[in-house]
Chains A and B, each alone.
Chain A
Amino acid sequence: MIQTLFDGLMIGGVYAIIALGLTLIFGVMRVINMTHGEFVMIGMFTSYFMFQKMGLDPFISILITAPVCFFIGYFLYSAFVSKAQKAGEENTLLLTAGASILLVNLAALPYFLGPNFSRLTGEGLYWENRIWQIGGITFNASLLAGFFLTAALIFLLSVFLKKTDTGLAMRAAAQQPMAARIVGINVPFISGITFGLGAVFAGIAGSVLSTTYPIYASIGALFLVKAFVIVVLGGMGSIPGAALGGLVLGVTESLGATYIPGGTAYRDVFGLVIFLLVLLYRPQGLFGRRI
């Protein structure tokens, strides 16, 4: 029981990083980003190729993943999304859905993996099937490290949003885009930064997951749906909500798969059912509050 609980918490921690990025983007510019899952994929791919070509540890290649995702995210926003925003929410949704087709199929080119599955394994990979035993509970080492990373990132993000000028500008743009413009904040620029930052979170999660999940071009969809669930669970635009929502989803999936007969096959349904219940009875989310 306790083991299952901790398994859920660990994977929930990584879910939380992904959701954090999505909620940040939604909070600041009201865009539901359908490409978010693809940034997880980009993170996985970056770590995979960095290890294959240069032997870099996935946790070190985060330093490469982060800027890569930032620039792709920033470019996507300033070149496309910002222009579609005027025409309304549906158009940004569709635009990002189109961008997601583009990115998935770019990744499926034979220069990368083609349509194949792969796994990050090899000589000298510390994290491969590594477990840490703490107080009688076994932890998947990379997920536990990822869990601490999540905690650190949430802390950094909240400091960033409260103490730095850019962070304050982001919160201003989230609350009152018009007023933010009037006091001289370059809202399109700040939105681009936010989009990039959101992508960075997804990318980091991808790097963390690269040692535990199979790697293929269209894996993003799986995480996109999970991130939606979490963001709605926690309240759209709420950062503590995304963090807690991630843990709740991880634990629910893990408990459901273990204790409900035949639950393993329906693992992904539990999250969706919670998602619908929350949407229907508490659409502002469990911890609904704006950033």
Chain B
Amino acid sequence: MKTTFISTTVTAALLAIFVPMVANLHTYSIVITVLIWIMFGLSWNLLGGYTGQVSFGHAMFLGVGAYASMLIVNAVNLDMALTLLIGGLLAGLVSLAVGFLIFRLKGPYFALGTLAFAEIIHIVARNMKGVTNGGEGIMLMNRPTFLGIQVFNKTEYFYLALLLATLTILFCACLIRSKTGYSFIAVREDQDSAEAMGMNSTVVKSRALFVSAFLAGVAGGFYGLYNKFIDPEMTLTVHMSVEMIFVTVIGGIGTIAGPVIGSAVLISLQEYLKSLDFLQAFPSLYLIVYGLLIMLVIVYLPGGLVEGLRKIRARVKKES
């Protein structure tokens, strides 16, 4: 607990000091994207990794948060701290309704059910022109502030992203070492035993979903405001849900470090592949390599990169 706390704050402080010294606009956008995906990954991980409920529809919470924040900032330009909080709470509220219906399902059925929910919301968002402006999307019209400080250029967004990601990491680390967190893990490991110990598994899962949706909503709100534009295709598609799972599973499912490492590696990898000359000939080429790498990691390293690092460390210890 202490080590997580210290290492996270130290890393964040180092990033805060050193990134602005070396960064240009391009590196800023990569770092911010990594930080955003860390938040998404951690949010998915609370439900999928720790509670064992694999959701294929987390994009819906991301989308609710993104649209809520965008609409609030455009309409009244409320402070971002409050806006993101409201976006997160709305996503949480949606999650309560979704959870009420969907927690009767287990395993792959649960995954398909969440996928269906997200797809319904996606189609509705595309057609409800009055609220979401349909496929044309919404532009950010105001300059948002966070606790009174204007947040508009990349440097300002970088500091805010770093702050939010650090808070999310620390929050998740504390949560899973609390009684609530242990109840999540108990339900994942053996639902029947957890019930026998007097836990109401549906309540436990709903809690996990609520917190997870809240975090996804906050991160989604930030994602929208940072991009200064949202449409259904960049917030609500299956692709977004799957990407959240990728960063978590490639990093290491059910660990705090997993989504952090996974996002850092996958997003930098994407950017790196995009920048390679021989892959630039066709836009889809880097995604082919990306898809193949994901397949290879899942086949040869099912515990993710965290497990890989652990194995290497164990081998080094044995040899010395």
The minimal Cβ–Cβ distance linking B278 to chain A, given in whole angstroms, is 14
In the bound complex, do residue B292 and residue A229 qualify as a contact, i.e. CB atoms below 8 Å apart?
no
**Is A280 close to B, CB under 8 A?**
yes
Stretch from B13-21, B59-67, B176-184, B242-250 contacting the other chain = B242-250
Q: Contact check: which of B102, B123, B245, B300 meets A269 at CB < 8 Å? A: B123
Residues on the A chain within 8 Å of B290, using CB: 101
- Please report the C-alpha to C-alpha distance between residue A78 and residue B238 in the assembled complex, in whole angstroms: 26
Residues on the B chain within 8 Å of A97, using CB: 242, 245-246
In the bound complex, do residue A84 and residue B302 qualify as a contact, i.e. CB atoms below 8 Å apart?
yes
Q: Contact check: which of B112, B117, B253, B292 meets A228 at CB < 8 Å? A: B112
- Please report the C-alpha to C-alpha distance between residue A108 and residue B292 in the assembled complex, in whole angstroms: 15
**Is B97 close to A, CB under 8 A?**
no
**Is A105 close to B, CB under 8 A?**
yes
Residues on the B chain within 8 Å of A103, using CB: 291
- Please report the C-alpha to C-alpha distance between residue A86 and residue B299 in the assembled complex, in whole angstroms: 10
The number of A-B residue pairs with CB atoms under 8 Å apart is 127
* Closest Cβ neighbor of A31 among chain B residues: B108
Residues on the B chain within 8 Å of A94, using CB: 242, 245-246, 249, 294, 298
- Please report the C-alpha to C-alpha distance between residue A193 and residue B40 in the assembled complex, in whole angstroms: 38
Q: How large is the interface on B (under 10, 10 to 19, 20 to 34, 35 or more residues)?
A: 35 or more
B:245-301 near A, CB below 8 Å: 245-246, 249, 253, 282-285, 287-288, 290-292, 294-295, 298-300
Residues on the B chain within 8 Å of A101, using CB: 287, 290-291, 294
In the bound complex, do residue B119 and residue A272 qualify as a contact, i.e. CB atoms below 8 Å apart?
yes
Main secondary structure of the interface of B (DSSP, over half): helix
Contact with B along A5-38 (1 / 0, CB 8 A): 0000000000000000000000000101000000
The minimal Cβ–Cβ distance linking B126 to chain A, given in whole angstroms, is 8
**Is B111 close to A, CB under 8 A?**
yes
Main secondary structure of the interface of A (DSSP, over half): helix
The minimal Cβ–Cβ distance linking B74 to chain A, given in whole angstroms, is 25
Residues on the B chain within 8 Å of A195, using CB: none
- Please report the C-alpha to C-alpha distance between residue A273 and residue B117 in the assembled complex, in whole angstroms: 9
For the complex of A and B, 6 pairs with smallest distance between CB atoms: A102-B291, A101-B291, A87-B302, A98-B294, A105-B284, A108-B284
Question: What residues make up the interface of B, taking CB atoms closer than 8 Å to A?
Answer: 48, 54, 56, 101-102, 104-105, 107-109, 111-113, 115-117, 119-120, 123-124, 126-127, 238, 242, 245-246, 249, 253, 282-285, 287-288, 290-292, 294-295, 298-300, 302
19 additional A-B residue pairs with CB within 8 Å, beyond A228-B112, A272-B119, A280-B101:
A80-B295, A84-B299, A89-B108, A90-B111, A91-B302, A93-B111, A94-B249, A94-B298, A95-B298, A98-B295, A101-B291, A102-B291, A105-B291, A109-B282, A109-B285, A114-B282, A265-B126, A268-B119, A275-B112
